[in-house]
Amino acid sequence: MKKDPSNHQPNDLVLFDGVCNFCNSSINFVIDHDTQKRFKFASLQSEVGQQYLAQFSRNTSDFDSVLLIKNGQLFEKSDAALQIARYLDGAWKGLYFFRWIPRAIRDIIYDLIAKNRYRIFGKSDACRLPNPEIRERFLG
């Protein structure tokens, strides 16, 4: 396994499109439902995000998927979303049940949302700036 480019060893790292309003809302949702503080976050556009994209041989200008790095393994699209949901508080972890639906079908729905996310939910001019209380959970 390659060295963590941020020189930090988060347990589970969520990489997201930092200028997408839907993605930012999703990260806020994860933060609110992750009371164990399992997840760390970085935008795909950040230096840390770009290093991870390169580390996993991914296009450094492709921001169409949330990525989860868990124990050195990369999860993307619906796999990443379901892995994240699996560790959220309350009934949200029940969404992990959908892993039984074939990935190809799940990812068709995921790709449809990803393709239209800016048109439907809008786009910000800059990446999310966390408040001091949660800043420690963001890398980069």
Q: Are strands 12-16 and 39-43 parallel, antiparallel or unpaired?
A: parallel
What is the mean pLDDT of the segment spanning 20-30?
Answer: 86
User: In the beta sheet, which residues pair with residue 15?
Assistant: 42, 67
Strand order in the sheet with 12-16: 39-43, 12-16, 67-70, 73-76
Cβ pair 79, 111 in contact under 8 A: no
What global pTM score does this model have? 0.82
Give 34-47 pLDDT, tens digit per residue: 999 999 999 999 99
Cβ pair 15, 128 in contact under 8 A: no
> Does the pLDDT value for residue 52 go beyond 70?
yes
Give 105-139 pLDDT, tens digit per residue: 999 999 998 888 878 777 776 555 667 778 888 88
> Model confidence at 4, in pLDDT bands (50, 70, 90)?
very low
CA 23 – CA 121 distance, rounded (Å) = 9
The ranges assigned to domains in the chain are 12-137
